[in-house]
Homo-oligomer: A and B are copies of this chain.
Amino acid sequence: MANGSRRVVIVGASAAGLRCASRLARLCPGWTVTVVEQREVFSYAACGLPYVLSGDVDDADELRRTSDGALRDAAFFAAVKRVNVLAGRRAVAADAAAHTLTLAGPGAEKERLGWDELVLATGASPRRLPAQPQHPRVRSFHVLDDLEPLRAGLRRGEIARVVIVGAGLVGCELAEAFRALWGAEVTLLEAAGGPLPSVADTEIGAVIAAALRRGGVDLRTGVAVEAIAAFDDRVEVAIGGERRTADLVIVAVGVSPEVALARSAGAAIGPTGAIAVDDRLATSVPHVWAAGDCIEVRRLPDGTPVHLPLGSLANRQGRVLADVLAGRDERFPGAAGAVAAKVFDLNVASTGLTRARAAAAGIPARSVWITAHDRAHYWPEAAEIAINLVYEPRTRRVLGVQAVGAGEVAKRVDVATGFIARGATVAELAGLEHAYAPPFAPAIDPLATAAFAAENQEDGIEARPPDESFAGARLLDVRHAGERARHPLPATATVIALEELRAALPLPGRAPWLAVCERGARSAEAARLVRASGGTASYLGGGMRLRAMLGLADER
């Protein structure tokens, strides 16, 4: 395929389309590579948009530049990449038999483009609420054009009260932006039980919820928007019998893949509603390919089709597809769906399946939770992080990792992704090798500590969720006096420091114990000791530190 001249037409000039185009033009100098893009401004880092709004990034223009300062406009792509970008032209229909693409220009004129290979990189569009009116005070936040009206309104002081619908990644980032930089009153609504529901299980979600609330965001979970009424001077949002008045409503309830063009070409749509492709990114129609936010991929490790609209994946897919079109043996094997975000003082990262997603996919899963320092605990900048490790007990496969805290969490998720993507077991994760040095990591990495907890759990040392109710629980507090004073337990708890526990065994009574410590390590050891002495015990996963992150512990 790499020989001779071919015409490749790519629809969509964002990460997947442009990366595919640029690489293809490099690999196949004789080919003609054309990109059709409906907008005039394209090729910017969309993931940076919330951070422009928050003021972390000064100038939206920086999102359009390369790291060398070059502006990625049509002239840049023509001169540097030998890629012809037809901006401001909408692809309205693809004819797979005639190998043509019909374009609508800025005016009414239509145009037909012939192709030998057609690449659909049509992306995704913000989902709308059923109740959503068409009104300038009710907006989505998805493209560069969405930024300026908000910044202008904020600068003019016209946006003092904001309702954000959807506490996904974008919703949480926007909540921080409106609140932290602009001091707006922010109500964040989420239909699910907690924020980031697709990447965080409830207890990790509760840590994020606590951070949002600490930051002054009025977070409401488990609520549905019943109606939105927009007026010239305000918007009214009806939720659960209550009415909220705001200057602006942002709808951030996720995105839907743009598949109209794929349908017109006759390409099959998958179960997620996105374009179905094989691991060479071929659609069901010969010579029609797809990449980026419009496709579904295999989720790793389980292989379920999933729609993962992530810029990093779009980039990878664009590169893989260029290689495939150039005749190389490349594959896109799927993705664990690694993501990260900053939510006020909290770093959040997640990869693979949550427990909830595993359950939805029919995979019985268990969790363990740990709290640990991200560096040597005696290093002055060491910060605590909590990890929720999700695994499949039967196969011992690692299914997912969620990490939150003030410390370095993205690193652990990146390392975990490598294990998850290849279907590694908890034992393999426990044996991970890492670069240990006090300024960068403790001698035992928190990820390995989490894997140990999972192995222990399969030995019978059960971790109870950090949000476990203490009501009626028979608490065994194995901490030191200072720790007990800092995060006190109910007075009914039995206090035996771990150092003294062996001498006190067996403990009286037959009811099960819930051992509690600060980070979960000593209480796990206590549970093991109690069990070895003939008693019954589990332990509080992640200990009182994680419970404090959840906002469930008194802190003194």
- Residues of chain A at the chain B interface (Cβ within 8 Å): 15, 26, 29, 45, 47-48, 51, 56-57, 62-63, 65-70, 75-76, 79-80, 82, 310-313, 315-316, 319-320, 330, 332-333, 335-336, 338-342, 347, 349-351, 372-373, 376-380, 408, 410-411, 413-415, 417-419, 421-422, 427, 430-445, 479-480, 482-483, 498-500, 502-503, 517-519, 521-522, 525, 528, 532
Residues of B contacting A347 with CB < 8 Å? 439-440
Question: Please, how many angstroms separate the alpha-carbon atoms of A331 and B63 in the complex?
Answer: 48
Most buried by B among A415, A440, A442: A440
Docked-complex contact A376 and B48, CB < 8 angstroms: yes
Question: Please, how many angstroms separate the alpha-carbon atoms of A414 and B411 in the complex?
Answer: 8
Once A79-B500, A433-B421 are accepted as A-B contacts, the answer to whether A438 and B67 lie under 8 Å apart by CB is: no
Docked-complex contact A48 and B378, CB < 8 angstroms: yes
Residues of B contacting A415 with CB < 8 Å? 414-415, 418
Docked-complex contact B419 and A435, CB < 8 angstroms: no
Docked-complex contact B80 and A498, CB < 8 angstroms: yes
Shortest C-beta distance, A393 to chain B (Å), equals 17
Identify 14 new A-B residue pairs, CB closer than 8 A, beyond the known A62-B377, A414-B434, A417-B432: A45-B376, A56-B379, A56-B380, A79-B498, A79-B503, A80-B498, A311-B436, A312-B434, A312-B444, A315-B443, A336-B433, A340-B435, A349-B435, A410-B435
Shortest C-beta distance, A173 to chain B (Å), equals 9
Residues of B contacting A419 with CB < 8 Å? 418
Name the one of B56, B332, B440 contacting A340, with C-beta atoms under 8 angstroms.
B440
Shortest C-beta distance, A371 to chain B (Å), equals 9
The 9 closest A-B pairs by CB, nearest first: A312-B436, A340-B435, A67-B377, A62-B378, A410-B440, A411-B411, A338-B435, A418-B418, A340-B437
7 A-B contacts (beta carbon < 8 Å): A45-B438, A67-B519, A338-B436, A339-B436, A342-B440, A351-B433, A351-B435
Question: Please, how many angstroms separate the alpha-carbon atoms of A79 and B313 in the complex?
Answer: 51
Docked-complex contact A63 and B336, CB < 8 angstroms: no
Docked-complex contact A518 and B68, CB < 8 angstroms: yes
Shortest C-beta distance, A449 to chain B (Å), equals 10
Question: Please, how many angstroms separate the alpha-carbon atoms of A431 and B315 in the complex?
Answer: 10
Once A312-B433, A333-B431, A431-B320 are accepted as A-B contacts, the answer to whether A410 and B410 lie under 8 Å apart by CB is: no
Once A26-B528, A80-B525 are accepted as A-B contacts, the answer to whether A434 and B408 lie under 8 Å apart by CB is: no
Shortest C-beta distance, A117 to chain B (Å), equals 21
Closest B residue to A498 by beta carbon equals B80
Name the one of B70, B434, B442, B517 contacting A417, with C-beta atoms under 8 angstroms.
B434
Docked-complex contact B443 and A47, CB < 8 angstroms: yes
Residues of B contacting A340 with CB < 8 Å? 435-437, 439-441
Copies in the complex: 2
Docked-complex contact B378 and A316, CB < 8 angstroms: no
Residues of B contacting A76 with CB < 8 Å? 499
Docked-complex contact A338 and B48, CB < 8 angstroms: no
Docked-complex contact A312 and B480, CB < 8 angstroms: no
Once A68-B519, A444-B312, A482-B69 are accepted as A-B contacts, the answer to whether A435 and B417 lie under 8 Å apart by CB is: yes
Residues of B contacting A48 with CB < 8 Å? 376, 378-379, 438
Most buried by B among A433, A519, A521: A433
Residues of B contacting A335 with CB < 8 Å? 433
Closest B residue to A499 by beta carbon equals B79
Question: Please, how many angstroms separate the alpha-carbon atoms of A419 and B414 in the complex?
Answer: 12
Question: Please, how many angstroms separate the alpha-carbon atoms of A518 and B444 in the complex?
Answer: 38
Shortest C-beta distance, A476 to chain B (Å), equals 15
Residues of B contacting A333 with CB < 8 Å? 431
Question: Please, how many angstroms separate the alpha-carbon atoms of A441 and B349 in the complex?
Answer: 12
Question: Please, how many angstroms separate the alpha-carbon atoms of A69 and B481 in the complex?
Answer: 11
Shortest C-beta distance, A535 to chain B (Å), equals 14
Name the one of B56, B338, B373, B479 contacting A433, with C-beta atoms under 8 angstroms.
B338
Docked-complex contact A443 and B15, CB < 8 angstroms: yes
Name the one of B57, B315, B443, B502 contacting A311, with C-beta atoms under 8 angstroms.
B443
Shortest C-beta distance, A32 to chain B (Å), equals 15
Residues of B contacting A499 with CB < 8 Å? 70, 75-76, 79-80
Shortest C-beta distance, A66 to chain B (Å), equals 8
Question: Please, how many angstroms separate the alpha-carbon atoms of A443 and B503 in the complex?
Answer: 55
Most buried by B among A411, A499, A500, A522: A411
Docked-complex contact A443 and B376, CB < 8 angstroms: no
Closest B residue to A429 by beta carbon equals B418
Shortest C-beta distance, A272 to chain B (Å), equals 19
Residues of B contacting A519 with CB < 8 Å? 67-68
Docked-complex contact B380 and A57, CB < 8 angstroms: yes
Residues of B contacting A411 with CB < 8 Å? 408, 410-411, 414
Docked-complex contact A522 and B63, CB < 8 angstroms: no
Docked-complex contact A312 and B57, CB < 8 angstroms: no
Question: Please, how many angstroms separate the alpha-carbon atoms of A495 and B322 in the complex?
Answer: 30
Most buried by B among A311, A351, A435: A435
